[in-house]
Amino acid sequence: MIRLAAVLCALCLLPALPARAQDPITLTSQYGPGKPQTLFWEHFAARLEEERPGRFAPRIVIGGALGGEKEEAEGVRLGSITGALSTVANLTTWVPLGAVLDLPFEFEDADHIKRTLAGPLGAVLKEQYRAQGFEVPAFIIFGARHLLGKNEVSVPADIKGVTMRVLESDLHVALWRSLGAAPTALPITEAYGALSNGVVGAMDMTKSGYEALKLYEVAPVLSQTAHIWAIGVVYFDARWWDGLADEDRAAVREAALEAADYFNDIAAKEQDAAMMRTAEKGARLVTVDQAPWRAALGDFAAEYAAALDDPLAVEALAAIENAR
């Protein structure tokens, strides 16, 4: 971990981005009312109001109304969006090292993720996001990703030749291509339509996302592969962050950390409850043996990390292993 610590120290010396005057804040959620991603911002706003009454005027835009995750990230970089939630996969365009958190079968459970990100790897990632204009006070855990479609997918051979909607990430494209699928990168806001009209035949998603986006209507079978733990970040426009007074910045940071804990709790509870509700509407859950999937992917994680455009990637993979 010596190199990770050294890089963290070096990144800390980067010059701060220029400050700017504070504006009313725009916060975005890809999901609708009552869903964990939207509840995150409602909790955040309420906590912020308690700490700094009347200081902020948050506007929460839901349902992906300002675009998919890529558009949100660009909006944060441009300053038109103040804060958003994102999968780490989406931000690998700017921080390739984040891909190590998305590699298949690397994390055992949520506690393993938390231990990993509480160490030097989490700190280095935050500094790399910072260097790209994203201030990341907290990580969040969306849940395990599973395969879904019109047909059961029990073994890797079942996915060969299937056109899949995948996250807009080089890693996810490479992962499914290695198993013989035909990956098509699309924003989540287009997933339902792509499944409905046959542009894609399968995709992967958490159980709560499966319900929230009503994907069970067009992909009634969820195969419980749990191949990746979907990890995300809470991120803000770094220039906006730098323009805050110290007490305001502290309040925003604390509200984000508390909202992250709240989100992780409700997101974890939501997974099985969401699946039960979709089952009542006709969805079917298929139990899958992970062994053939692990065997088929073999050394994919190690090989992908070694090929990443970041000398710390292999060490980062070791940090995940050491946190078990």
pLDDT tens digit string along 163-192?
999 998 899 999 999 999 999 999 988 999
- Residue 164 CA: distances (Å) to CA of 8, 149, 183, 184, 187: 37, 9, 5, 6, 12
Q: Is it the case that residue 223 has pLDDT exceeding 80?
A: yes
More confident residue, 87 or 1: 87
Q: Is it the case that residue 151 has pLDDT exceeding 90?
A: yes
Q: Is it the case that residue 4 has pLDDT exceeding 60?
A: no
Question: DSSP strand E in 10-162: where?
Answer: 26-28, 59-61, 83-87, 134-149
Q: Is it the case that residue 10 has pLDDT exceeding 70?
A: no
Q: What is the pLDDT of residues 234-289, one digit of tens each?
A: 999 999 999 999 999 999 999 999 999 999 999 999 898 999 999 999 999 999 99
- Residue 2: pLDDT band with limits 50, 70, 90: very low
More confident residue, 227 or 23: 227
Residue spans of the domains in the chain: they are 11-318
More confident residue, 183 or 6: 183
Q: Is the dihedral of CA 75, 79, 82, 83 positive or negative?
A: positive
Tokens of 45: 């706003």
Average pLDDT, stretch 140-158? Answer: 96
More confident residue, 3 or 8: 3
Tokens of 4: 């990770």
pLDDT > 70 fraction of the chain, expressed in percent and rounded: 93
Strand partners, 310: none
DSSP structure class, residue 85: E
Average pLDDT, stretch 144-157? Answer: 96
Q: What is the pLDDT of residues 19-61, one digit of tens each?
A: 334 468 999 999 999 999 999 999 999 999 999 999 999 999 9
Q: How far is it, in rounded angstroms, from Cα 110 to Cα 232?
A: 12
- Residue 309: pLDDT band with limits 50, 70, 90: confident
Average pLDDT, stretch 298-323? Answer: 92
What is the residue whose two structure tokens read 């989406």? 90
Q: Is it the case that residue 18 has pLDDT exceeding 50?
A: no
Q: At the fourth CATH level, which superfamily is domain 11-318?
A: Bacterial extracellular solute-binding protein, family 7 (3.40.190.170)
Which class for 286: exposed (0-12), middle (13-18), buried (19 or more C-beta within 10 A)?
middle
Tokens of 256: 């984000």
DSSP structure class, residue 231: E
